[in-house]
Amino acid sequence: MSDIQAKFPSLMGQTVVVTGGASGIGEAFVRAFFAQGSRVTFLDIDAKAGSELASELNAAGDARALFLNCDVTDIPALRSCIRRSGEELGAATILINNAANDKREEFEEVTVEDFDWMMNVNVRHHLFAIQEVLPQMRKAGWGSIINMSSPTWVGGGPDMPNYSMAKAAVVGLTNSMANRLGGDSIRVNAILPGSVITERQLRLWHSQESFDEAVKRQAIHEQLLPKHVADLALFLAADESRLISKQMFFINGGS
């Protein structure tokens, strides 16, 4: 199959904010929107990876990628970064709430502190990022918000109770915000990726063999890559999807 990326003229010159954008699926979002001619602000806790990605993208001299080192569990810092993005790159019309952590847990050993941390890193920042970016989208007259959920909450990951709970909450927030913001021409959708192979997943939780087994369980026997998720996000951000809101999009090869 061709790797050529579709072009969406409506994304040219738009300002996009991506949380957790320095690696994995988040990096794919940053690269994909930058390739469309968008101005991209991306936040991440990994200062080294984020700075290197921004330097690479801006090497041609067109500084359209702005990296801001940020821990999204620090809500004042998150708010400040989104405001700075608006000041430096213009009002954001696209927000991708991507930052997350799919830490595995033994249910019997989960503490209150573990629970609070998992909610903070996987769902709380979605709400406050939307709240902070809203004036910018209203100023622009439209917006597309993409929240990253997970099919784990649908299937019920036995070693991921807090993560599953948080990702279910992301869908609830998506539906609520879609209803509330539709009158402002702001659409809100959720993406639920399947077994996407990334360096982090291979390092922490999976092997190439386990990904191969996941592919066998899919209707389409092709490995899911971050690029495939980014392609869906481009469509959901572009004018071509302007009447699509309050939807969950599973991208899992028909798993």
The tokens for 98 are: 């991507």
Residue closest to 172 by CA, chosen among 156, 145, 149, 199: 149
Q: What is the three-class DSSP state of 248?
A: strand
Chain-centroid distance, C-alpha 26: 6
Is beta strand 65-69 parallel, antiparallel or unpaired with respect to 92-97? unpaired
How far is it, in rounded angstroms, from Cα 27 to Cα 32?
Answer: 8
Known catalytic membership, residue 163: yes
CB 214 within 8 A of CB 255: yes
Q: Which single residue is written with the structure tokens 């690269």?
A: 31
CA 114, chain centre distance (Å): 23
Rounded to an integer, what distance in angstroms lies between the CA atom of residue 191 and that of residue 237?
Answer: 12
Please identify which residue in the block is written with the tokens 């620090």.
74
HSE at residue 239, side-chain half, CA atoms within 13 A, is 8
DSSP summary character for residue 105? -
CB-CB contact of 111 with 83 (8 Å): no
Out of 45, 163, 167, 238, the active site residue is: 163
Sequential DSSP letters for 13-56: T-EEEEES-SSHHHHHHHHHHHHTT-EEEEEES-HHHHHHHHHH
Task: Report the catalytic residues.
Answer: 163
